[in-house]
Amino acid sequence: MTTLKQDSQKLTLGGREVHFNLRQFLQENFARSWLRTAWLLALIYLTGLVVWGQFQAAPVMTALVVLVWLGTVGVTAVNELTRHHSAATYWLKNNLYSSISNALVSLLLLLLLIAGIRGFIGWAFLRASFTTDPEAAKATLAQFTKPGANWGAISANMRNLMVFRWPRSEDWRLWSIIIWNVVLFIPSQFVYRREVFRKSLIRRVLTALWLLTPIIAFLLLRGVSGSRGVRGAGGLIPQLSPDQAWGGLLLTLVVAVFAIVASFPLGVLLALGRRSQIHGVPARFTYGTAVLLTLFFLATSTPANLSNAQSTAARVFAFWPLLIPLLAYLFQRVFKGNVVALFSTLYIETVRGVPFITVLFMSIILFPIFLPPGMEVLGTWRVMAAATLFAAAYLAENVRGGLQSLNKGQYEAADAIGLNTFQKYRFIILPQALRVVIPAIVGQFIGLFKDTTLVAIVGLVEFLGAANLIAAQPNWLGVRREPYVFIALVYFIGNAIMAGYSRRLEAQLGVGQR
């Protein structure tokens, strides 16, 4: 109960006398500056509009939310004046109601969130159709003024979304891969988490089986016989063309998993190469070779280019051999003659300087130019190679960041105990460096998993490509939002699994702990 005393600055709240200066309160929260006053007035107006609109759409729920908000704001304000907070009001005061604007923003965001959830539930469930019969679905949706989702299109095309054109007679291969991974995953939860199995035979065998898993999966997906066709046409596991048989979520997972697995060792090697300190090419050899090459090309290339030049720019370009000494100087100045560091740096910066879609187009269009006549590489292999090479450049920079985070004493300690270079990086440097950059590496893998949607641009039908084909089917014309919602859910689950494993691994290794 609140009792106002004769003195307007004194209040009795719950038996406690507190001082409250209304003028000072208004001055601090409203009239401190004209910009703050304008912001609060605009926020009050916007919040009022949203509250009124939600009252019209859902009066009972909106009234309940506003009453709860008013109640919690009042209790928090009283407890703040009396300096007698509970755990709940203390949290509200620090996180939601620290100022008038924050309290209004909290109400505004809460109402918008509830409106979004209510709208999605209405569209996805209350006004939705779940039948796979196109005519029945149309009749169901026609009953509503605002028709909801047509989930029958997803159910009817579930196989296309998952495996696209994979032969039904070969489904046993996919189930074999799934069962194999489940059988390995269950004991791994116990073996790798307990110190007692650290050097046991069981752990070594389990690790060997995990290393064999990509090879076994590839043999099952691709086949091992020379025949093409369905099962039984010439072999136990006939070969299937990946460009034709792989598609949907299957192709997305194959490209993502291959790129993740293959890019990791390549990225580590590139990071080590960029930071390598090996003895480089001697400066005298570099400059001598540069002078000879400059003279040779000035004598053989420049006269012909000058005679054919049609502009000033072309005549200037004819003297391009003069750049060779400059490049030689930069090579010695920046890399100290280290060829490994040079090529690692050029590769990393070149790949990181172009978007992933450019690398994909180069793999599809330019790569066949460099192949011998008559030799053909499937588009799926080219896309997988492009994803691997692209991911390796970014992973190399993540690993390099981990290597640079280690102090010089770690390297000196490894040298002091007599470890060679391989042992030093295997047992001392890389374990510490990789542990530090686990969040960055997993974040990159999550991005790579989502970037596989670009594969559809180069002609392969992956998960998103299969979803886009649903809207073109005569029975499901115009059904576009439902496939996108479904694939968003699948991607979210996949990313959540990787993020959850990352946090668990960080906790086990003590990443970020002091």
351 and 267 co-located in one domain: yes
User: Are 427 and 512 contained in the same domain?
Assistant: yes
Q: Give the end of a domain, one of 190, 211, 239.
A: 239
Do 392 and 329 sit in the same domain of this protein? no
DSSP class per residue in 423-445:
HIIIIIIHHHHHHHTHHHHHHHH
Which of the listed residues 320, 337, 354 is the one where a domain comes to its end?
Answer: 337
What's the confidence (pLDDT) of residue 12? 62
Q: Are residues 149 and 219 in the same domain?
A: no
Closest alpha carbon to 407 in 426, 427, 425, 432: 432
- Output the CA angle 154-155-156, nearest 5 degrees: 95
- The structure tokens listed for 387 are 């994803």
Give the pLDDT score at 13: 60
Residue 505 lies in a domain: yes
pLDDT at 230: 44
User: What phi and psi, each to the nearest 5 degrees, are found at residue 2?
Assistant: -115, 125
- The single-letter code of the amino acid at 273 is G
pLDDT value of position 2: 42
The partner residues of 18 in beta bridges, in order of sequence, read: 11
Q: Tell me what pLDDT residue 18 has.
A: 67
Q: Is 377 helix (H, G, I), strand (E, B) or coil?
A: coil
Q: Which residues partner with 359 through β-bridges? A: none
Contacts of 28 by beta carbon, 8 Å cutoff, 6+ apart:
none
Answer whether residue 213 is part of any domain.
yes
Q: What is the pLDDT of residue 3?
A: 43
Q: Is residue 348 part of a domain?
A: yes
Q: Which residues contact 172 (CB under 8 A, 6 or more apart)?
A: none
Integer Cα distance of 27 and 154 in angstroms: 58
pLDDT in the model for residue 237: 85
Note whether residue 351 is domain-resident.
Answer: yes
Q: What is the CATH number of the domain that holds 413?
A: 1.10.3720.10
Please state, in angstroms and rounded to a whole number, the distance separating the CA atoms of residues 83 and 103.
Answer: 19
Average pLDDT over all residues of the chain: 89
Residue found by looking up tokens 């886009």 in the block = 468
For residue 279, the 8-state DSSP code is -
Report if residue 56 sits inside a domain. yes
SS3 at position 30: coil
Could you give the maximum distance between any two Cα atoms of the chain, in Å? 104
Q: Measure the CA–CA gap between 97 and 79, rounded to whole angstroms.
A: 12
Domain co-membership, 223 together with 324: no
- The separation between the first and the last C-alpha atoms of the chain, rounded to the nearest angstrom, is 49
Q: How many domains does the chain have?
A: 5
Give a yes or no: residue 244 inside a domain. Answer: no
Both 361 and 431 in one domain: the answer is yes
Residues in the chain, pLDDT under 70: 1-22, 24-28, 31, 225-235, 512-514
- Examine the domain organization and report whether 211 and 185 are in the same domain: yes
pLDDT of residue 22: 66
Task: Find out whether 192 and 203 touch, Cβ atoms under 8 Å.
Answer: yes
CA 431/CA 408 separation, integer angstroms: 15
Q: Do 65 and 42 lie in a common domain?
A: yes
Give the C-alpha separation, 239 to 225, whole Å: 6
E strand segments, 90-196 = none
Q: Are residues 66 and 201 in the same domain?
A: no
Give alpha helix (H) positions in 142-200. 152-156, 158-162, 171-191
Please indicate, yes or no, whether residues 349 and 404 belong to a single structural domain of this protein: yes
- Residue for token digits 């039904």? 168
User: Last residue of some domain: 239, 261, 292?
Assistant: 239
What residues have CB less than 8 Å from 66, skipping those under 6 apart?
Answer: 51, 107
Report how far Cα 152 is from the mean position of its chain's Cα atoms: 30
Query: Checking phi first, is residue 232 left (phi over 0); if not, alpha (psi -120 to 50) or beta?
Result: left
Q: How many CB atoms lie within 10 A of CB 82?
A: 15
Provide CB contacts within 8 A for 61, sequence distance 6+: 54, 114, 118
Residue 162 lies in a domain: no
Residue 161, domain member (yes or no): no
Indicate if 366 and 444 belong to the same structural domain. Answer: yes
- Structural domain of residue 52, as residue ranges? 2-126
Nearest to 462 by CA among 248, 313, 280: 248
Give yes or no: residues 208 and 147 share one domain: no
Amino acid at the residue 493 = I
- CA angle centred on 444, ends 191 and 212, rounded to 5°: 40
Cβ neighbours for 229, distance < 8 A, ≥ 6 positions apart: 238
